[in-house]
């Protein structure tokens, strides 16, 4: 933080003020609500569907008797972040010295358990601890929402009714099997539960009873939680011969059009002059990798291996996958990034992203239908524009790019 420019500090203050204003505005806006009669009718339908799916009538009836409509859940489901999160903000908040230190401490404390999980699933202990740290800060916060009520509320809402109906029925099946009493089933507003924040359908498919007490308990049994996480990752194809990926150095005049998600043999990246973070030649291993540059050409670069895609099977976010992988490295004893992400890059509002997409489209660089989200189509359009303008085509919406497109940043 000591290296932040005065302008950036001012920008952050203005952004915080804007976010506060937006939050107050959002509170004043109405969200979709249901009348008691509508919700009761929906509850009856959910109860019937649960019983048809094999949930006992006694469980279905007792759970539904205590299910209530949670307007707060709908508010959270509808809330869209007004400002994008920069990679620096995301990464530095999640991979910090306190979490690294705690992770190393817990790695040693639970060495025997974690070694067992590694033997049975192939997932290295440091990765298990890293997921645990990012999901619930090592079990310190599971969420305080009633999972049955949260999922019933979302199932009765039209936006994603099919998905959350499935999750609600799965939650009742978990209760029905005796894993946890309904009144103790607490989690996130969207229904993620326990030490490793499994959704109910993931719980049913991958949770295991590792401590032999006859229950799959991801809230109160760390053995159950860690073994379940290991089984889940293994089911998605974890490759025990390789790590998640690694930080790399990119040579001058590198073609950043290659940082578009394409996977190439490691030898191909080495032949282009990419080295490890210390400048050493990459090994000639028989594995493919994709180049990821989350902060553009001025930030760190990573070669992401097969396990990177496995991590994204847990959470579809490149930022998350990098944070899990690097935190695991740090917990295992590695040092920090050689090229930390710049902290003065702009955090764009959704309106600014919409303006960016519209401007690119109008100039003939198709980003698809404007939606305010920096997805792959938008980054592809940015690369094309950057190349046409003689800029480094890293697909990153830098301040220089926005200036060329006439998009004004506050502050």
Handedness of CA 308, 312, 318, 323 (dihedral sign): negative
From 70-74, 92-96, 374-378, the region with the lowest mean pLDDT = 374-378
CA–CA dist 337, 159 (Å, integer): 41
Domain ranges of the chain: 1-29, 36-79+142-235, 350-404
Cβ atoms 91, 322 nearer than 8 A:
yes
DSSP state of 343: S
Q: b vs e for 121-131, b when ≥16 Cβ sit within 10 Å of the residue's Cβ?
A: bebbbbbbbbb
**The predicted structure's pLDDT at residue 410:** 60
Q: What is the mean pLDDT of the chain?
A: 91
Residue 103 has pLDDT above 80, yes or no: yes
**How far apart, in whole angstroms, are the C-alpha atoms of residue 319 and residue 315?**
10
267-306 pLDDT per residue, tens? 999 999 999 999 999 988 899 999 999 999 999 999 999 9
Q: Is the pLDDT of residue 149 over 80?
A: yes
Q: Quick one: pLDDT band at residue 123, thresholds 50, 70, 90?
A: very high
Cβ(189)–Cβ(72) below 8 Å: yes
pLDDT at 166: 98
Q: pLDDT-based confidence at 389, cuts 50/70/90?
A: very high
Fold category of 36-79+142-235 in CATH:
Helicase, Ruva Protein; domain 3 (1.10.8)
* Mean predicted confidence (pLDDT) in 203-229: 97
Q: What is the pLDDT of residues 229-257, one digit of tens each?
A: 999 999 999 999 999 999 999 999 899 98
For residue 33, name the pLDDT band (cuts at 50, 70, 90): confident
pLDDT tens per residue, range 152-201? 999 999 999 999 999 999 999 999 999 999 999 999 999 999 999 999 99
Check: CB of residue 33 under 8 Å from CB of residue 74: yes
Judged against a pLDDT cut of 90, whether residue 61 lies above it is answered with yes
d(Cα 214, Cα 363) in Å, to the nearest integer? 63
pTM of the entire structure? 0.88
Q: Which pLDDT belongs to residue 24?
A: 38
* 350-388 CB burial, b ≥16 within 10 A, e <16: bebbebbbebbbeeebebeebebebeebbbbbbbbbbee
Residue 34 reports pLDDT greater than 50: yes
pLDDT at 261: 86
Question: pLDDT exceeding 90 applies to what percent of the chain?
Answer: 82
pLDDT in tens, 297-318: 999 999 999 999 999 999 999 9
| Residue 115: how many other CB atoms lie within 10 Å | 11
């Amino acid at each position: 933080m000591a290296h932040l420019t005065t302008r950036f500090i001012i920008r952050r203050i203005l952004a915080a003020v804007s976010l506060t204003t937006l939050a107050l505005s959002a509170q004043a806006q109405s969200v979709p609500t249901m009348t008691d009669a509508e919700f009761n009718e929906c509850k009856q339908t959910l109860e019937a569907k649960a019983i048809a799916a094999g949930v006992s009538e006694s469980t279905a009836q007792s759970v539904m008797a205590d299910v209530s409509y949670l307007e707060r859940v709908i508010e959270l489901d509808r809330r869209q972040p007004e400002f994008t999160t920069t990679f620096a903000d995301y990464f530095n908040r999640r991979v910090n010295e306190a979490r690294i230190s705690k992770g190393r401490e817990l790695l040693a404390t639970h060495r025997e358990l974690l070694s067992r999980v590694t033997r049975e699933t192939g997932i290295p202990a440091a990765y298990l601890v890293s997921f645990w740290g990012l999901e619930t800060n090592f079990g310190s916060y599971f969420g305080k929402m009633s999972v049955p009520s949260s999922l019933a509320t979302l199932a009765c809402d039209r936006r994603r009714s099919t998905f959350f109906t499935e999750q609600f029925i799965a939650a009742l099946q978990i209760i029905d099997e005796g894993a946890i009493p309904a009144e103790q089933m607490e989690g996130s507003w969207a229904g993620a539960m326990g030490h490793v924040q499994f959704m109910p359908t993931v719980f049913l498919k991958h949770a295991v009873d590792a401590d032999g007490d006859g229950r799959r308990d991801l809230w109160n049994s760390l053995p159950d939680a860690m073994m379940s996480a290991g089984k889940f990752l293994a089911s998605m194809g974890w490759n025990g011969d390789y790590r998640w990926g690694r930080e790399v150095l990119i040579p001058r005049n590198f073609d950043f059009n290659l940082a578009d998600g394409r996977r190439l043999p490691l030898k191909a990246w080495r032949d282009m002059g990419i080295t490890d973070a210390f400048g050493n030649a990459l090994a000639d291993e028989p594995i493919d990798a994709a180049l990821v540059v989350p902060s553009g050409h001025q930030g760190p670069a990573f070669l992401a291996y097969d396990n990177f895609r496995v991590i994204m099977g847990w959470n579809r976010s490149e930022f998350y996958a990098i944070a899990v992988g690097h935190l695991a490295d740090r917990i295992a004893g590695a040092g920090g990034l050689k090229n930390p992400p710049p902290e003065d890059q702009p955090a764009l509002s959704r309106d600014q992203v919409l303006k960016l997409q519209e401007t690119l489209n109008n100039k003939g660089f198709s980003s698809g239908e404007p939606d305010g989200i920096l997805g792959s189509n938008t980054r592809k359009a940015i690369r094309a524009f950057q190349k046409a303008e003689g800029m480094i085509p890293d697909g990153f919406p830098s301040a220089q790019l926005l200036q060329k497109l006439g998009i004004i940043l506050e502050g």
